[in-house]
Structure 1
Amino acid sequence: MALSNSTATAVQAPLKALWTRMEARRVYAQPFMDLILQAQTVHRRHFPANEVQMSQLLSIKTGGCPEDCGYCSQSARMPGEKLSASKLMEVERVLAEARKAKDGGATRYCMGAAWRSPKERDMEMVVAMVEGVKALGMETCMTLGMLSPAQAIRLKDAGLDYYNHNIDTSERYYSEIITTRSFADRLETLDNVRQAGMKVCAGGILGMGETEDDRIDMLVTLANLPEAPESVPINMLIPIPGTQLENAAPIDPIDFVRTVALARVMMPTSHVRLSAGRTEMSDETQALCFLAGANSIFVGETLLTADNPGEDHDAGLFRRLGIKPEAPGAAG
């Protein structure tokens, strides 16, 4: 792909099926303007230039999680003050919140529970939530921890469109953040979801003390799955007091944008979502992320337990940038 500057040439995506770290690093490390141009060019081949898909996320069961994820305030193992564990939300309350989200412009409704994996006694209510949200005409997504093949099939049969299960970081760095489940466990759940016929939502978190190579390796893992995830959430760590990562140094915004751009180049047909951490981003950083190929956000005031920009702020930013919400049914 030729750039507007005739003396520069963008680093080409590999023609073969699998990416290597070296190939991905060459894309990531090229001059920033060249990387952004390449990512925006790839983006426009596969998506409308000025549309962003809007999802909303609801915590249907908060706190008391037995995992030890170093970034999460919902962990029962967190050394600091813990969130009180709640019961699974009633189905009708979930559907009432989904109706509000739809009225606010969300086309996908995501439901998250702080579990290692769902217990069989909870599956009936979870299935009813999926069926109810689906009946509203919205896309459905859930994140419930690890899934067995049978649970994945049951959720698919209920009408679940997407299952979110982030790999969080590179395989090398993973054990520095989480010890209660392995990187291989994460990949096994993604495989169970894919085998059941659902779409995959999988990404990671930046700013946890990882290196550039860790960020690149995380994306190489996702891009080299048998099928790349249809949605790739890119989170910016929100350091929460009391967690292992409460004193983590923030990621440089330009490095964050570079990672978004690399995700777009490596996974051209995936929705790349700006997820947690948007409250810590300037409008200018978010604008650069959209230029780099991000085309999905969470709307609403909270993401599970973290703050999120309000609808008025997002609407104002979209208006200033000339962005409009993606139409229902257009999301991949």
Structure 2
Amino acid sequence: MQQVEIRHDWTLDEIKDIYNTPLLELVYRAATVHRQYQDIAEVQVCTLLSIKTGGCPEDCAYCPQAARYNTDINTHALMQKDQVLAYAQKAKAAGSTRFCMGAAWREVRDNRDFDRVLDMVKGVNELGMEVCCTLGMLTADQATKLADAGLYAYNHNLDTSKEHYSEIITTRTYDDRLQTLENVRQAGVSVCCGGIIGLGETHEDRINMLHTLSHLPAHPDSVPINALSRVKGTPLENMPKVEFWDMVRMIATTRILMPKAMVRLSAGRSEMSMSDQALCFMAGANSIFTGEKLLTTSNPSFEEDHMMFELLGLKPREAFKTEAEALQVELH
């Protein structure tokens, strides 16, 4: 079969047709694309640590860390570097190759806390792991400082479509998010950007979000697909549970639109059976978060994921593999 091309000009109608393909046919098509661009037995294993929890001034309707909501989250100030590095070493020993640090900030400020994060980035990088951060909005100068410290990737999700965004967040704009992504890309840092389903959006909103992602100057290197974690005390606590089949449909569509991206099966995995997850991998997912917590919500343990990998014949993707492959191309 002829290899599909990488495109940045998908139309909304084309994406709608893909998204609405009968599910088994959609999974087959996505699996075919996946085989053309990825090692299907390889899954990127990432660990996410909340290095500063709660007290965020934003009003993201899904987030238990927003200061204005009464949730059961225990807030804590920025962690110490040695604590973070100890957690990173544990994650590496358990098979993770990417370590992501999240701080509940609206935006990065040029202060001592940011200097401490830069020091953490240097420390994790020295462990031989891909280091990622999600810290809120970034200026171009801050993105460059993170890159200079050894940051490999930066996560900043669009969450939903531009049309639905104001129903979920009012404390920053969609264009603010897009500007941060541009600042990250210009600094030479890998872009990690996806969204959340289950926020009360329509199927059209999901299609519009994927359209925006696929039309970025370069496709995100990582695209997390999250199912809403319904947390008591947040405005979305009573939303219906996301249908598993909707996750499969989103993953498969994302794989077809952005063949080279790592498509991450993210929040919501703790409510999936092993067979559910296997179908997501078949549909094109090739990245997960492992470890007991995703910032503040539950996630399968390292041990559970080891068992799943063994049963399904999966292996962790090596750190910095993209760069190693690029070097091989140059040498030959």
TM-score, normalising length from structure 1?
0.93
Q: Distance in 2 between matches of 1:156 and 1:289?
A: 32
Give 3-state SS (helix, strand or coil) of 2:167's partner.
helix
Give 3-state SS (helix, strand or coil) of 1:140's partner.
strand
Q: How much has 1:319 moved relative to structure 2?
A: 1.8
| Aligned residue in 1 for 2:273 | 282
Residue 98 of structure 1 pairs with residue 88 of structure 2: yes
Matches within 5 A, 1:56-67: 56-67=47-58
Q: Is the Cα contact below 8 Å between 1:64 and 1:83 reproduced in 2?
A: no
Q: Distance in 2 between matches of 1:14 and 1:295?
A: 19
Give 3-state SS (helix, strand or coil) of 1:109's partner.
strand
| Aligned residue in 1 for 2:108 | 118
1:235 equivalent among 226, 229, 235: 226
- Give the aligned CA root-mean-square deviation in angstroms: 1.6
Residue 149 of structure 1 pairs with residue 140 of structure 2: yes
Q: Deviations over 1:138-189 (max 9, x none)?
A: 0010000000111011001111010000000011111111110111110010
| Aligned residue in 2 for 1:17 | 8
Q: How much has 1:16 moved relative to structure 2?
A: 5.5
| Aligned residue in 1 for 2:303 | 312
Q: Alignment identity in percent?
A: 54
Higher mean displacement: 15-24 or 241-250 = 15-24
Query: Residue 158 and residue 292 in structure 1: after superposition, are their counterparts in 2 closer, same or farther (change >3 A)?
Result: same
Residue 257 of structure 1 pairs with residue 273 of structure 2: no
Segments of 5+ residues of structure 1 without an aligned counterpart are: 3-11
Q: Distance in 2 between matches of 1:71 and 1:197?
A: 30
Q: Distance in 1 between matches of 2:139 and 2:319?
A: 30
Q: How much has 1:328 moved relative to structure 2?
A: 2.7
Matching residue's letter, 1:99: Q
2:203 equivalent among 199, 212, 222: 212
Give 3-state SS (helix, strand or coil) of 1:249's partner.
coil
Q: Distance in 2 between matches of 1:252 and 1:138?
A: 34
- Moved beyond 2 Å, runs of 4+: 12-17, 80-85, 327-332
Q: How much has 1:14 moved relative to structure 2?
A: 8.0
2:97 equivalent among 104, 107, 130: 107
TM-score, normalising length from structure 2?
0.93
2:238 equivalent among 234, 247, 257: 247
Q: Is the Cα contact below 8 Å between 1:39 and 1:265 reproduced in 2?
A: yes
| Aligned residue in 1 for 2:67 | 76
Aligned length: 322
Give 3-state SS (helix, strand or coil) of 1:58's partner.
strand
Q: How much has 1:15 moved relative to structure 2?
A: 7.6
Q: Distance in 2 between matches of 1:16 and 1:314?
A: 33
Query: Residue 251 and residue 83 in structure 1: after superposition, are their counterparts in 2 closer, same or farther (change >3 A)?
Result: closer
Q: How much has 1:17 moved relative to structure 2?
A: 3.1
Q: Deviations over 1:231-270 (max 9, x none)?
A: 0001111100010100001222112101100000001000
Residue 89 of structure 1 pairs with residue 79 of structure 2: yes
Matching residue's letter, 2:96: A
Q: Distance in 2 between matches of 1:250 and 1:81?
A: 19
1:162 equivalent among 153, 171, 191: 153
Query: Residue 29 and residue 323 in structure 1: after superposition, are their counterparts in 2 closer, same or farther (change >3 A)?
Result: same
| Aligned residue in 2 for 1:131 | 122
| Aligned residue in 2 for 1:330 | 321
Q: Distance in 1 between matches of 2:128 and 2:269?
A: 27
Q: Distance in 1 between matches of 2:252 and 2:71?
A: 37
Q: Deviations over 1:184-228 (max 9, x none)?
A: 110010001011111100001111111111111111111100001
Q: How much has 1:330 moved relative to structure 2?
A: 2.2
Q: Is the Cα contact below 8 Å between 2:7 and 2:257 reproduced in 1?
A: no
Matching residue's letter, 1:106: S
Q: Distance in 1 between matches of 2:144 and 2:5?
A: 34
Higher mean displacement: 280-289 or 111-120 = 280-289
Q: Deviations over 1:96-126 (max 9, x none)?
A: 1111111111000100000001221122101
Q: Distance in 1 between matches of 2:185 and 2:301?
A: 33
Give 3-state SS (helix, strand or coil) of 2:46's partner.
strand
Query: Residue 315 and residue 150 in structure 1: after superposition, are their counterparts in 2 closer, same or farther (change >3 A)?
Result: same
Q: Is the Cα contact below 8 Å between 2:6 and 2:258 reproduced in 1?
A: no
Q: Deviations over 1:277-324 (max 9, x none)?
A: 111112222111100000000011111101101122111222221212
Matching residue's letter, 2:310: R
Q: How much has 1:37 moved relative to structure 2?
A: 1.1
Q: Is the Cα contact below 8 Å between 2:60 and 2:169 reproduced in 1?
A: yes
